[in-house]
Amino acid sequence: MKNARITIIGTGYVGLVSGTCFAEVGHQVLCVDKDPHKIETLRNGGIPIYEPGLEEMVRRNVAAGRLQFTDSTAEGVENSDIIFIAVPTPPQPDGSVDLSFIEGVAREIASHLTGYRIIVDKSTVPVKTAEKVAETIRRYCKARVEFDVVSNPEFLREGFAVEDLMKPDRIVIGVGSQRPVTAMREVYEPFQAPIIVTDTNSAELIKHAANSFLALKISYANALSVICEAAGANVQEVTRGMGLDARIGTRFLQAGLGFGGSCFPKDLSAFIQISTELGYDFRLLKEVQRINAEQMDRFIKRITDTLWVLKAKRIGVLGLAFKQNTDDVRTSPAIEVCQRLVREGAMLRVHDPQAMDKARTLLPEGPQVTYLLSQDEVPEGCDALVIATEWPQFAKLDLARTRASMNTPIVIDGRNLFDPAEMERLGFIYKSIGRGS
């Protein structure tokens, strides 16, 4: 199974990037998506998402004949040794997870199975999903074939997906029997990462537990930022001082606007919901959610405290994506800031290096929101400038030009990109997160 025939069902962030990275290390990959337009785009060399390094890698592997696209699940099941499921698992209004795409794919695989396959779930799912997938395939498969269902959660971050996939910290393989273990180890061997083989329920829990813990770290830093503001201390110094203790680690301790995106908020709600179903009230994680929501409220209050009336104020906003290096605006704190400012009657001038097209679907077009192609144009005539996403290029803003072009030189930085002393020296009224101002 060194050069496995791999089928990936679902060409979103996880499916497309994993498929491409599997091809990169020599496997034969077929990506399946039921959306024929997406398949058409991919076949023509287009990439439906922005992810650094992905486009070249797709092109290289398509040219080498290792990466192909189809809208036929039957073809995918037929031409594979291993089938990865990487379809969306969106949240439902009560916080639980909508597993209908997973169930639909399991049924489709079942209807095309003619011989032994390893079926791997890569989507983020609640504990016990692998058992349900196996049950579904067994129920809907007319032929008498053997198969194994494996849980193999993915830990990539958007914006760093290729890097995270090519150099993973660990690979988790959850199995119900020993049969698929050798093949799964071989598929991942080229990535040279520690491999943890466990049962499917533990594998599924590892994913929810890891994301919830990372969200907890961020909420911890955000809670500290409140204390730091009240005490006149600097949260960046405090978290660095903590994080250099190897048992704690410096990463994911960046205080800011709170976490967003399509994973942390959804996975936290799901994990809380599952815990309740399993008889445990996970109050710690409810507090993580509460701190995150309050951090946003506090930021908006800081803007209104500084500007007083927002109606007809001109506010520049740098950043629309939920984090740097992506065009993803799903549950983006930056979009929430914009929506709340618009609701108060502010007139926005916005810029994001990648996310403006996607933001247009969530923010009103027209006089209330002006989209600008250059970050340096955003501050012109503004009563305040808000930093909402941690794109590193925002830290290189032309500050002299910004100061000169603003109506009033107020900068409210939700990502702590600038040095408070320097901003004051340049004549700005500068407010940031947890740094004594």
3-class secondary structure per residue, 353-370: CCCHHHHCCCCCCECCEE
Work out the burial of residue 2: count CB atoms within 10 Å of its CB; fewer than 13 is exposed, 13-18 middle, 19 or more buried: exposed
Is the CB of 105 or the CB of 310 nearer to ligand UGA?
A: 105
Work out the burial of residue 311: count CB atoms within 10 Å of its CB; fewer than 13 is exposed, 13-18 middle, 19 or more buried: exposed
The 122-151 contact track toward ligand UGA, x by CB under 6 A, reads: --x---------------------------
Q: How far is the CB of 161 from ligand UGA (least distance, A)?
A: 8
* SS3 label, residue 81: coil
Q: How far is the CB of 299 from ligand UGA (least distance, A)?
A: 12
* Binds ligand UGA by CB under 6 A, chosen from 155, 188, 282, 371: 155
> Encoding tokens for residue 81?
């040794």
Residue 434 in the binding site for ligand UGA (CB under 6 A): no
Query: What is the rounded CA–CA span in Å between residue 259 and residue 420?
Result: 23
3-class secondary structure per residue, 133-152: HHHHHHHHCCCCCCEEEEEC
* Binds ligand UGA by CB under 6 A, chosen from 27, 117, 313, 323: 323
Is the CB of 174 or the CB of 409 nearer to ligand UGA?
A: 174
Report the chain's terminal Cα–Cα distance, integer Å: 58
Give the footprint of ligand UGA on residues 9-48 (CB under 6 A).
none
Q: Are 412 and 385 in contact (CB under 8 A)?
A: yes
Q: How far is the CB of 424 from ligand UGA (least distance, A)?
A: 25
Q: How far is the CB of 251 from ligand UGA (least distance, A)?
A: 7
Comparing CA positions, the residue from 433, 134, 157 lying closest to residue 299 is: 433
Q: How far is the CB of 376 from ligand UGA (least distance, A)?
A: 23
Catalytic residue flag (residue 263): yes
Give the footprint of ligand UGA on residues 368-407 (CB under 6 A).
390
Instruction: Tally the C-alpha atoms within 13 A of residue 403's C-alpha that lie toward its C-beta.
Output: 12
Is the CB of 252 or the CB of 282 nearer to ligand UGA?
A: 252
Within 8 A by CB and 6+ apart from 375, the residues are 318, 351, 353, 393, 394, 397
Give the footprint of ligand UGA on residues 87-126 (CB under 6 A).
124
Query: What is the rounded CA–CA span in Å between residue 14 and residue 10?
Result: 8
How many residues touch ligand UGA (CB under 6 A)? Answer: 22
Q: How far is the CB of 333 from ligand UGA (least distance, A)?
A: 6
* Binds ligand UGA by CB under 6 A, chosen from 82, 85, 156, 300: 156
Give the footprint of ligand UGA on residues 303-322 (CB under 6 A).
322
Comparing CA positions, the residue from 149, 71, 79, 85 lying closest to residue 115 is: 79
150: phi then psi, degrees, rounded to nearest 5 = -120, 145
Q: How far is the CB of 158 from ligand UGA (least distance, A)?
A: 4
Give the footprint of ligand UGA on residues 236-275 (CB under 6 A).
252-254, 256, 259-261, 263-264, 267
Query: What is the rounded CA–CA span in Å between residue 341 and residue 389?
Result: 16
Q: Are 176 and 134 in contact (CB under 8 A)?
A: yes
Amino acid at 390: E
Of 141, 228, 263, 382, which is the active-site residue? Answer: 263
Specify the stretch interacting with ligand UGA by CB under 6 A; choose among 66-74, 134-142, 153-161, 424-432: 153-161
* Binds ligand UGA by CB under 6 A, chosen from 51, 121, 154, 383: 154
Q: What is the residue-wise DSSP string for 377-418?
A: GTTTT-SEEEE-S--GGGGG--HHHHHHH-SS-EEEETT--S
The 202-241 contact track toward ligand UGA, x by CB under 6 A, reads: ---------x--x---x-----------------------
Is the CB of 7 or the CB of 332 nearer to ligand UGA?
A: 332
Is the CB of 259 or the CB of 430 nearer to ligand UGA?
A: 259
Is the CB of 116 or the CB of 213 nearer to ligand UGA?
A: 213
Is the CB of 141 or the CB of 218 nearer to ligand UGA?
A: 218
Q: How far is the CB of 107 from ligand UGA (least distance, A)?
A: 24
Is the CB of 224 or the CB of 397 nearer to ligand UGA?
A: 224
Q: How far is the CB of 65 from ligand UGA (least distance, A)?
A: 29
CA distances (Å), 199 to each of 119, 194, 202, 387, in order? Answer: 15, 16, 6, 44
Active site residues: 263
List residues binding ligand UGA (CB under 6 A). 124, 154-158, 211, 214, 218, 252-254, 256, 259-261, 263-264, 267, 322-323, 390
